[in-house]
Homo-oligomer: A and B are copies of this chain.
Amino acid sequence: MTEHHGNRYGRSERARQAVLEAADDLLVERGFAGVTIEGIAARAGVAKQTIYRWWPSKVDILMDAFIDDMAQHLTPPDHGDLGLDLRTHLSKLADFLTRSDAGAVFRALVGQAQHDPDLAIRLRADYLGQQRERDRLPLSRAVERGELPPDTDLDLAIDQLVGPIHYRVLVTGEPVPRHVTDALVHHFLVQHQPVAPSQPSRQR
């Protein structure tokens, strides 16, 4: 890819990358209010018009940055054991939400989505759909393996597993340590485990 300043046959990849990085950096450094089009343009060494040419608003920039970051993340493992898979997945999810830069962008986007129905729709279309697919994987595999009954309501199950984590992150602000995610998985398994009366031990 040759360096150029743009022409009709394609936009400048250099400008695109610089904008996404600048937006990401500004969000982490100064918070959502500190992300301004002018600030991004100045930090990225890019013209405001170039930003407006390709992104309708600053949240679209953050969305692009977020999608780029998320490309390969949060795909749950497959150990062939529901409990282990879930514990690993939820723990990673909690870490992502509370500790990573991408998680900070996600929180900002979800926050802004409360004020902006269009953003909410795009966020669901561009990210949450895929994420829900990933969240569903360990469960559907468990159904196939017979670990879960075939009539299990997987959507409700996902809400039960990831809902409390998001609630802590977005509402109460409490941390989500490992023992919390493990406890969520434990209670979930209790609900659905075929009750085998004579073997009471089902803890990991």
**Which A residues fall within an 8 A CB radius of B?**
31-33, 107-108, 110-116, 120, 124, 128, 132, 153, 156, 159-160, 162-168, 170-173, 180, 183-184, 187, 190-191, 195, 197-198, 200, 202
Contacts and interface: CB of A to CB of B under 8 A. Distances in A.
B172 A160 contact: no
Contacts of A168: 159, 163
A171 B166 contact: yes
A198 B197 CA distance: 7
A85 B187 CA distance: 21
Nearest to A31: B115
What is the count of identical protomers in the complex?
Answer: 4
Given A33-B115, A108-B114, A170 B173 contact: no
Given A113-B111, A114-B111, A160 B173 contact: no
Contacts of A124: 172-173
Contacts of A113: 111
B191 A187 contact: yes
A68 to B, nearest CB: 20
A59 to B, nearest CB: 11
A167 B163 contact: yes
A196 to B, nearest CB: 9
Nearest to A184: B160
Given A112-B111, A114-B107, A187-B191, A160 B171 contact: no
A99 B71 CA distance: 35
15 contacts: A33-B115, A108-B114, A110-B111, A110-B171, A111-B112, A112-B115, A124-B172, A153-B183, A156-B187, A160-B184, A163-B164, A163-B165, A167-B167, A195-B197, A197-B200
A32 B171 contact: no
